[in-house]
Amino acid sequence: MEDPAGRVHYQQLLLWEQSLESEEEEEEFSKPLVPDPWKPQDSSGSWKEAGTRPGAWPQLVVALLLLAVGFSLATWQLHTRGSSTGTLGPVAPPPSGHSHRPGVYHHGAVISPAATCSHLGQELLVAGGNVVDAGVGAALCLAVVHPHATGLGAMFWGLFHNSSSGNSTALTSGPAQSLVPGQGLPLALPALHLLHTRFGRLPWPRLLAGPTALAREGFLVDTPLAQALAAHGTKGLCPLLCHTDGTPLGPGDRATNPKLAAVLRKAALTPAPDFAWNALLSLLAKDLGLEGPSAEPVPTLEPALKLPLAQGILFTTPSPSAGPELLALLQAALQSKGPSSDPCPPPLPAPETPVSSVLATVDSSGSVLLLVSSLNSSFGSRHLSPSTGVLLSNLVAKSEISTWACPLILRGSPDDTEADVLGLVASGTPAVTRVTTHALLSHLARPQTQAKHQHQHQHEHQHQAQQGPTESPSVCGQGTVLQVAAHAEHAHVSGVPNGCCPYQGF
């Protein structure tokens, strides 16, 4: 359902829906492994009221202990799932035993470069949030735990497809602007808040609660951050990411950013987001010895670029992103009648490869959010603001931002109300448009006849849900490609290279 403001609303979904299970599965898994201690049993071997037979109280104590142990194990599993640095599979299967292969979920899913942030996004979905809530929350989480690639100082591009309206909307932070020479204006907060205000559902403070706690209480350095520190050193990054002797933190070390936590907390408590952003700028101006910043942020939401094709409609972000270049490459490749050329020729040499961060969220109805952000180079300008804990980017007016921003969504035929939706977003290479083109062409080239036949029977339907479009897309060169899809009433997520990006769903 979509209200006049354009927000997408969902009913809060249960983790298990009885209608999804076959009668055979229901019968097979109907008997619990451990009897319910709160359910009255028959007189042959169960409890009655505690005062009716000797030994009832000891049995009650044992049952309570079993429940406590079960709860502790469940809490431990959730904790380890959120802190693991490897690819996360599905959440625990529903009580009936109905489950899918990793990356396939009944309701929604999040995929990002950090396990903690994918888990946080999933929590927002389970709490009743939509894909925008989950994506914005995960992006703010990444701003804390992946300061080498993104942050509050980063620029953002986004692409949101609304399954209720069938429309796609592009988010841009606006033109790159300089706070001081070589250091970009931080635009993440106003850009993400604008996206949430228009399309989100949960309260804004709810999205900031998790990232604020991570910055205040600490987060574990994961492999991508540790590798960036090892490769680029800690100049300008101490004490945030250093030991007391100046050496970089390694995998599993704990980092805190209390100043950033204070900024996020103020952003959550301030009624008007402009006040929070102005407060951040005032602190940055004080750190940099400025009288006061004169530039104003201009994040925008505008209709996405689209290209109608026989296979459906393609959506991407407008200029100055690489979206127009992406559509031109795809149109030429799809309309070519001769032998297709290699969609992944060697990239042109670049003085420095831009560093970007990507994430994606999807629900089973076909709503998709793709977000890509960048500080330009690893750790941006390497200027850590002592008053805010923010690393400023070195994205300025002459930066080549078109090399890292071109999210893509393919929606099936608009005449089909249950059409599949596919989202692709790539990072980590100067040839992002070629990588995305190659991934989409690989998807379109796969035979579609098997998918059509699999609608004929319930067993085949379940098999389709397990073997849907999340087969790993092809990727050329170095980089990361995230693929999300709504297919056969399920949400699908995957990433290339395999294991690059943890995912969570329900």
Closest CA relative to residue 488, chosen from 362, 369, 368, 364: 364
19: β partners: none
CA dihedral of 448, 421, 359, 13, whole degrees rounded to 10 = -120
With beta carbons less than 8 A apart as the criterion, state whether 194 and 171 touch.
yes
Look up the pTM and report it. 0.77
Phi/psi at 343 (5° precision): -75, -5
Q: Is 125 left (phi over 0), alpha (psi -120 to 50) or beta?
A: alpha
**Containing H/E element for 370?**
strand 368-376
197: Cα separation from own chain's centroid: 18
pLDDT at 416: 61
Residue 477 burial (10 A CB sphere; 0-12, 13-18, 19+):
middle
pLDDT at 499: 84
Q: Is 51 helix (H, G, I), strand (E, B) or coil?
A: coil
Could you tell me where the DSSP H helices lie in 336-487? 432-445, 449-453, 458-466
Closest CA relative to residue 209, chosen from 126, 128, 280, 141: 141
Within 6-105, strands assigned E span: 104-105
Q: Enumerate residues 6+ apart whose C-beta is below 8 A from 44.
A: none
pLDDT in tens, the chain (506 residues): 445 445 554 443 333 333 333 333 333 333 332 233 233 333 333 333 334 444 545 454 445 554 554 544 444 444 443 333 333 333 344 444 556 788 999 999 999 999 999 999 999 999 999 999 999 999 999 999 999 999 999 999 999 999 999 999 999 988 888 888 889 889 899 999 999 999 999 999 999 999 999 999 999 999 999 999 999 999 999 999 999 999 999 999 999 999 999 999 999 988 776 778 888 888 998 898 887 666 676 899 999 999 998 889 999 999 889 899 999 998 888 877 544 445 455 554 444 567 899 999 999 999 999 999 999 899 999 989 999 999 999 987 666 656 789 999 999 876 665 669 999 999 876 678 888 888 888 888 764 434 444 444 334 344 444 445 545 454 555 578 999 999 989 999 999 888 889 999 99
Q: At what angle do helices 204-217 and 115-126 cross, to 10 degrees?
A: 150
DSSP characters for 423-438?
Answer: EEEEESSTTHHHHHHH
pLDDT at 201: 97
491: β partners: 105, 486
Rounded CA-CA distance 313/364 in Å is: 19
pLDDT at 15: 31
What tokens appear for 313 in the block? Answer: 């409609």
With beta carbons less than 8 A apart as the criterion, state whether 152 and 137 touch.
no
CA dihedral of 112, 114, 116, 122, whole degrees rounded to 10 = 10
Rounded CA-CA distance 223/220 in Å is: 10
Phi/psi at 5 (5° precision): -80, -5
With beta carbons less than 8 A apart as the criterion, state whether 469 and 484 touch.
no
**Containing H/E element for 142?**
helix 131-145
Q: Is 168 helix (H, G, I), strand (E, B) or coil?
A: strand
